[in-house]
Amino acid sequence: MSVDSRFSHKIWQEEELSKMVKGGVPFPMLTDAGGRIGRVYGVYDEEAGVNIRGRFLIDPEGIIQAMEVMTPPVGRNVAELIRQVKAFQHVAKTGEVMPSGWQPGKPTLKPGPDLAGKVWKVWKPDLAF
């Protein structure tokens, strides 16, 4: 979503994204003319009239579970976004929690009093990423 028009999004999809991702990005791009939604999320730059780059993971109950706001010179990491989505889905399904850098198939943590002071036995930094 950006303050750009739907026409700008169409050109961006056809001339850029479709050349980077076969068929273009598989989701709609939305316009936030005037920055109303950007203001709600705290990413609208009033002076410049643009939304600052950000991403928000919102669960089915409408609660923001993760967010990242970046300045324009630095791109976002799509692989990290996908990893986080999978982690939140796993948490919702199992109640387990993810250590830093968790990847699907790697060990998870089962929260509880038994874990306090013993995370090091279950998780090692070389398991991250």
Q: Is the pLDDT of residue 86 over 80?
A: yes
- The CATH number of 6-74, from 3.40.50.720, 1.20.58.220, 3.60.70.12, 3.40.30.10, is 3.40.30.10
Q: Is the pLDDT of residue 46 over 90?
A: yes
Q: Is the pLDDT of residue 127 over 90?
A: no
Average pLDDT of the residues of the chain: 89
Domain boundaries, the chain: 6-74, 79-127
Average pLDDT over residues 76-103: 90
- Report residue 67 as tokens: 């967010």
Average pLDDT over residues 21-44: 90
Exposure string over 49-73, b if 16+ CB within 10 A, otherwise e:
ebbebebeeeeeeeeeeeeeeeeee
Residues paired with residue 97 on neighbouring β-strands, in sequence order: 109
- Report residue 78 as tokens: 């799509």
Q: Is the pLDDT of residue 93 over 90?
A: yes
